[in-house]
Amino acid sequence: MKLRQDQLGPHLAKELAPCYLISGDDPLLVMEACDDIRKAVKQQGIDERELFHAEAGFEWRTLREEASAMSLFSSRRLLELRIPNGKPSDKGETIKDLAEHPSPDNIVLIICPRLDAKTQKTAWYKAIEKHGVVLPIWPIERNQYPGWLKRRFQMAGLQADQAAVSALAHQTEGNLLAAVQEIEKLRMLGETNVSEELIMQSAGDSSRFDAFGLADACLMGKLGEANRMLGHLRSEGHEPIMVLGALTRKIRQLIALKPCQGAQALSEGFRSQGVWPRQQAPYKAALQRLSMKDLHRALNTAAEADLAAKGSGDDAWLKMGQIVIILSGQADKLFTLT
């Protein structure tokens, strides 16, 4: 079945499907949907989780064997599969088989970027849609954004008047992670009633070394400034996964925008990617400077950083430093990190 994100909670309260496919480009919305599934799985007593990254050279046989193996620690497991490009290298045969022949010992969670119409016609996608749950994560449209912010304030236990909501919408311009971070900061300050003045004061007090400022500095080719921002974010104790989400979002948007030729096509591309007019200058600079090879190299490094942030043993901040160098258009400097 196919669900909207607002239908996921009621579904999980009733049952667990054997297989879930979450696809979307907004890191916050995808992360929250996956967290809801993980929480529901734990509530069913499923504590063991196996993580797989289907990148170049991934051995699909490994996933098949793990899916058929008995768990050592619990009767059921969550098998989480991440496909950074949304295109399984075995043409989806393994996923199709897992969906059509689900094991009672496993719940499968597959995470992909937004999938195009062609991919949605594949046999593996159709198999999940028939036997499990497909949840496409759609971006928040500009006219929906203030209402979304209002709900996030309420979820945080805050009362915000319309002027405050409008001020935050103007400050964050559709960057959901940035908006949630601002709301969380206000909550931690102990405020319950949020005014426009408080929003403006909070924005003024916010360090310019935020995740989206870092991403924009990279897109503008400002390597020195971006490195200082990255160092500050690390020293301030920010979670690497949140910083990485901002970088990965920009990379995926640039990959989608790169084929757009001409002003009209680029304008339509910006609209489809949810890039507002005031946000477009860094993207235009990056599109002129970076090749598609650069962007895919950055995306692959982001996948390595994601794995590092979840305990692979590598340094996630070092990997993000490599992303900064690539996006700043100075990938030839990477030899200095080895």
- Predicted pLDDT at 74: 54
pLDDT digits (tens, 9 = 90+) for 167-179: 888 877 777 887 8
Q: Are residues 275 and 304 in the same domain?
A: yes
Q: Are residues 84 and 114 in the same domain?
A: yes
Q: Are residues 15 and 111 in the same domain?
A: yes
Is 338 inside a domain boundary? no
User: Domain containing 228: what range?
Assistant: 211-333
Radius of gyration of the chain (CA): 21
Q: Are residues 26 and 46 in the same domain?
A: yes
Please state which of the ranges 1-5, 202-206, 251-255, 276-280 shows the lowest mean pLDDT.
Answer: 202-206
Q: Are residues 247 and 276 in the same domain?
A: yes
pTM: 0.64
Q: Are residues 196 and 231 in the same domain?
A: no
Q: Are residues 191 and 258 in the same domain?
A: no
- Predicted pLDDT at 208: 45
Is 155 inside a domain boundary? yes
Q: How many domains does the chain have?
A: 3
Query: Which of 88, 117, 137 is the C-terminal boundary of a domain?
Result: 137
pLDDT digits (tens, 9 = 90+) for 7-22: 999 999 998 999 999 9
Query: Which of 137, 159, 176 is the C-terminal boundary of a domain?
Result: 137
- Predicted pLDDT at 260: 92
Query: Which of 179, 207, 235 is the C-terminal boundary of a domain?
Result: 207
Q: Output the domain CATH number for residue 267.
A: 1.20.272.10
What mean pLDDT, rounded, does the chain reach?
87
Is 111 inside a domain boundary? yes
Query: DSSP secondary structure string, 12-67?
Result: HHH---SEEEEE-S-HHHHHHHHHHHHHHHHHTT--EEEEEE--TT--HHHHHHHH
- Predicted pLDDT at 217: 92
Q: Are residues 280 and 171 in the same domain?
A: no
Q: Are residues 58 and 177 in the same domain?
A: no
| Cα-Cα-Cα-Cα dihedral sign, residues 116, 120, 123, 125 | positive
Q: Output the domain CATH number for residue 35.
A: 3.40.50.300
What is the 3-state secondary structure of 316-328? HHHHHHHHHHHHC
pLDDT digits (tens, 9 = 90+) for 182-238: 888 888 877 788 888 888 776 655 544 578 889 999 999 999 999 999 998 898 787
Write down the residue that tokens 């979670």 correspond to: 239
